[in-house]
Chains A and B, each alone.
Chain A
Amino acid sequence: SRLAEGTPRRSIHLSNIVEQRVFKEDEVISTPKRGRPSKKTIQDSDEDYSPKKSVQKTPTRPRRSSTTTKPAATPSKGIATTTAAPMTPSQKMKKIRAGELSPSMQQRTDRPAKDASKSELQLAREQLHVSVVPKSLPCREREFENIYAFLEGKIQDQCGGCMYVSGVPGTGKTATVTGVIRTLQRMANQNELPTFEFLEINGMRLTEPRQAYVQIYKQLTGKTVSWEQAHSLLEKRFTTPAPRRVTTVLLVDELDILCNRRQDVVYNLLDWPTKSAAKLVVVTIANTMDLPERLLMGKVTSRLGLTRLTYQPYSHKQLQEIVTARLGGSEAFKGEAVQLVARKVAAVSGDARRALDICRRATEIADTALVKCVTMLHVQQALAEMIASAKVQAIKNCSRLEQIFLQAVAAEVTRTGVEETTFMGVYLQVETIAAFMGVTTPPPGRALRVCAKLGAERLIISEHSRNDLFQKILLNVSADDIHYALRVGDVAN
């Protein structure tokens, strides 16, 4: 029972693997509008008020201050000329909070390798990386249609609404939703659809639920403020009617993390769409299908509505299709190798990430074997590495006393018939087995050390050694595993 505790009760998931690598920069999907060259086009679309008036009305709005008032402001600050004089860290921090300093990573000194120099296996490996999201996800056409129709309808009608998307991790939820948004953004750019704004937050990227306000506000303006302030500003924005307000689409990933006891954050996020002034469409993503009924309060569930979509885990056919689609026309994989991966993964979880990772590992194994094509054998080895458990191997590689101790725990379980044993009973068994095998019996102190070592590896579950002879010991491997590991070893010797 203690083993299962690793997975918490809320269990939900998916990612934001949507990236500029496949989609070009101008297809800006999300947030960082600040400092982007393509800012101009979006800027007009996400104003609350008509742009011309607001310049005078709210001169403190950060976006404007960066674009229109900056030339005037910089000389007055004197030292803070952005390019020249070095800033003190706190000045820098101020700039970061105002969104005027874009975060950056250190750059490489040499250029990364060219594609032409790579072998077919290497190219296949790159194509198989989970981060390379294809433009259209295979096997998710129906879900794509569904979300597309929902969002397009909401944008066309200029009203607000909610949707709840669920499914186990790795089934393509976030990838389809962002794919839909990207298609819609492209259409909006071609004036086939009213323009709209896109915001996204991820529950797991927040340190606490209330930071959601901060992140949303930051994506609107680029400014970092406290959550109270962000909350009231958002409240003002969504509840007061404004002419020429454009529709806002908000994607909330990992919804379950945003649920706290008071549920004020989820309530607010789902309550704003009901306001006629807001024109807010919220798409929420989580793992469990019954999350709204299980975790959320009645009023929140009611606001979430019944527009729901469930993602089924991939079947082996679908997984196979996904992998072959990634490989394109490449000959790097044998057909049956892909099928083996697909069948094994579909039987366990139906997680596309898992299938891709296993394929990638198989290419590495083929690479070290110096062959050009991945065959069944390589895939089998990769599967053994990534799915197999190492408990039997761990028992085989224990020292003699550790093995005797494990045997003793198993013997004590058989003797008492209860799963939980105490150290004292086990020690008596150790004495017996050691005498039988002709090994000197270790004193209890050393047996406790053996016990602690096995406990650290989690072959057994033991209490703190402070309890000395009275600590309780549970066997964490099955008695059959012990028997198998030790007997098979004996035969080999």
Chain B
Amino acid sequence: MPEADQDLAKTRRFLKERLQRDYTTLRGYAEERSNVRQLLQRTAEMGESNSLLLIGPRGSGKTTLINAVLTDLLANKSFVDNTLIVHLDGNLHTDDRVALKSITVQMQLENAADGRVFGSFAENLAFLLQCLKAGGKQSKSVVFILEEFDLFCAHHNQTLLYNLFDVSQSAQAPICVLGVTCRLDVIELLEKRVKSRFSHRQVFLFPSSERFEEYVALCRELLSLPSGSALQEAVKRIGGLQKIRSEALCFARNHFDPNEYSFSPRVRETWNKHVAKVLASQQAQRTLQTLYDFDISEAFLKGYLFRLVAQLRSQSPYITAEKMAALGSQFEGDDKIELLCGLSVLELCLIIAIKHHSEIYDRDPFNFEIIFARFSKFAKVSTTMQGVERSIVLKAFEHLRIGELIMPLSGGAGGGVGKVQKEFEMHKLALTYGQIQQAVQRYQALPTEVAQWAQSSLI
């Protein structure tokens, strides 16, 4: 393999891994980060009990912030020795029973042995509370990280939240409860007594790439290759994590490892110069602007860039503005129109009939009989659709239904009120007229008759 190909493969692999697996690098949010960091540090060092909610839209780096703060702190030996970290996730720990078992295991309490927890739910709770109560300033601090915090609020009586917050407000073992959620109104979900015990510290994370220039800068940073010294720094930062691999920190395993990569200055320079040139071009800016208008989160940009990087081949080893634009238009496309273009002519005829019906009767629901009558009127005078049997049309109608281009009124299969025969079940159209029109225009080899019929319902 020529050297240039190897370099390209390495670059691609590096960029991909950095996009996907770099769990601990956080850009921006200096204030929020130091806020959380100080809170955790005080919990660990002084044995203060605290609670905090981290709130922000999806994809805004809430988990990354926590990971980054923990990475910083874990480099510090006194933090590692004096804290236990307990990770809980609202999606995994669907009720207090499961969450409690997981806490017992992660805290290595005495009724847990090798991941198996003994005793009933009530016993587990009593035991955990006794342990926390028995603890004091001398015991290790426990950091509870509750992801998808709003789902914990849905648990019966909010027992777990009450008890965690209650411990944080009483002179027991020092704990810190860190809730992470995307719901802005999460505090309203708490019961009154739980709310009173919560300390009302909320850290809001809103994507700070508010201005488009910052967005482009972020894009450049994500695409360019770092200098050797920057790589060394990252290695040093991650190094602490690798050492405590056994500590069951979920993000430390399989982390992006900058140690494996080094780039010659020549490769780096040409690549970075190229990236900068492409990003300065009009076309690339326009593509990024449409992405930015749609979603300003870093996660979305990363998804886009991953696909862009994955297209790098030895035949076209550089990112170009054209590639970016092509991929951007893929992101903007309408999948339903693609789906419509894949239908048979008969099915498209039915869709057109449904559209005519909806236009005339102002989106009134329809059933097979209505549509079949409308279709038959067209089929009789058309040259291509004559002699299509009713059963075939019914099959096409069912095909539209399972494709969810039309939806039954009641939502349930077989109809809500009693059992309605399938020819008579009422449906609604799940498409806009604009989509149908575009599909008719883009359909390959559509008979002219059908295209003309689509224009007007008069035959």
Interface residues of A (CB under 8 A from B): 3-4, 6-8, 11-22, 32, 89-90, 92-93, 96-97, 101-113, 122, 125-126, 129-133, 168-170, 204-208, 211, 214-215, 218, 224, 254, 257, 287, 349, 351, 353-354, 357-358, 360-361, 364, 368, 385-387, 389-391, 393-394, 396-402, 424, 427, 439-440, 442-446, 450, 453, 456-459, 467-470, 476
Contact = CB atoms under 8 A, between A and B. Distances in A.
Interface string B109-153: 111110010110111011101111011111110000000000001
B202 interface: yes
Nearest to B169: A130
Given A89-B118, A105-B134, A113-B46, A168 B192 contact: yes
Nearest to B192: A11
Given A110-B82, A456-B183, A458-B183, A19 B204 contact: no
Contact of A170 (B153, B196, B334): B196
Interface of B: 34, 38, 45-49, 55, 57-58, 78, 81-82, 84, 96, 107-113, 116, 118-119, 121-123, 125-127, 129-132, 134-140, 153, 157, 159, 162-163, 166, 169-173, 182-185, 188-193, 195-197, 199-202, 204, 206-207, 210, 290, 292-296, 332-337, 404, 407, 411, 428, 430-432, 435
A131 B157 contact: no
B171 A131 contact: yes
Contact of B204 (A351, A390, A439): A390
A104 B134 contact: yes
Between B49, B188, B428, the greatest number of chain A beta carbons within 10 A of the residue's beta carbon is seen for B188
A207 to B, nearest CB: 4
A470 B202 contact: no
Contacts of A458: 183-185
B46 A205 contact: no
Contact of B169 (A89, A126, A131, A257): A131
Given A368-B38, A390-B55, A20 B193 contact: no
B193 A12 contact: yes
14 contacts: A93-B119, A103-B109, A105-B173, A169-B196, A204-B159, A205-B159, A357-B200, A394-B206, A397-B206, A399-B292, A453-B58, A459-B184, A469-B430, A470-B407
Contacts of A349: 196
B162 to A, nearest CB: 5
Contacts of A11: 191-193
Given A17-B170, A130-B170, 10 more contacts: A4-B188, A92-B110, A105-B140, A358-B200, A360-B199, A361-B201, A427-B432, A445-B336, A457-B184, A459-B184
Contacts of A354: 196, 200
Given A92-B110, A110-B78, A444 B435 contact: yes
B182 A254 contact: no
A442 B136 CA distance: 57
Nearest to B173: A105
A391 B57 CA distance: 12
Contacts of B169: 15, 17, 130-131, 353
A373 to B, nearest CB: 19
A224 B113 contact: no
A399 B292 CA distance: 7
A426 to B, nearest CB: 12
Given A110-B78, A287-B193, A476 B185 contact: yes
Contacts of A401: 293-295
B27 to A, nearest CB: 16
Contacts of B135: 104-105
B197 A103 contact: no
Contacts of B159: 204-205, 207
Contacts of B137: 21, 112
Nearest to A131: B171
Contacts of B127: 96, 103
Given A32-B130, A107-B139, A129 B125 contact: no
What 5 pairs across the A-B complex have the smallest Cβ distances?
A: A13-B193, A19-B171, A169-B196, A443-B334, A105-B135
A439 B293 contact: yes
A15 B293 CA distance: 48
A13 B123 contact: no
B110 A104 contact: yes
A3 B183 CA distance: 12
Most chain-B CB neighbours within 10 Å: which of A92, A126, A129, A476? A129
B182 A456 contact: yes
Contacts of A126: 46, 48
A354 B197 CA distance: 8
Contacts of B140: 105-108
A169 B169 CA distance: 13
A132 to B, nearest CB: 7
| Residue of B112, B162, B404 ringed by the most chain A CB atoms within 10 A | B162
B170 A109 contact: no
A257 B47 CA distance: 31
Contact of B132 (A105, A122, A398): A105
Contacts of B58: 453, 456-457
Nearest to A434: B293
Contacts of A446: 294, 332, 334
Nearest to A109: B81
B212 to A, nearest CB: 10
B196 A399 contact: no
Given A16-B170, A391-B184, A205 B84 contact: no
Contacts of A104: 110, 131, 134-135
Contacts of B136: 20-21
A244 to B, nearest CB: 30
B55 to A, nearest CB: 7
Nearest to A286: B193
B207 to A, nearest CB: 6
B197 A15 contact: yes
Contacts of B428: 470
A20 B166 contact: no
Contacts of B296: 397-399
The residue among B130, B137, B138, B292 with the most chain A CB atoms within 10 A of its own CB is B130
A17 B171 contact: yes
A236 B361 CA distance: 77
B123 to A, nearest CB: 6
B42 to A, nearest CB: 8
B161 to A, nearest CB: 10
Contacts of A15: 166, 169-170, 193, 197
Nearest to A431: B434
Given A17-B169, A104-B131, A106-B108, A204 B57 contact: no
B89 to A, nearest CB: 16
Contacts of B189: 6
A257 B192 CA distance: 13
Find the residue from B122, B130, B189 having the highest chain A CB count within 10 A. Answer: B122
Contacts of B109: 103
Contacts of A358: 200
A109 B139 CA distance: 9
A205 B202 contact: no
A204 B162 contact: yes
Contact of B131 (A20, A105, A445): A105
A169 B195 contact: yes
B46 A112 contact: yes
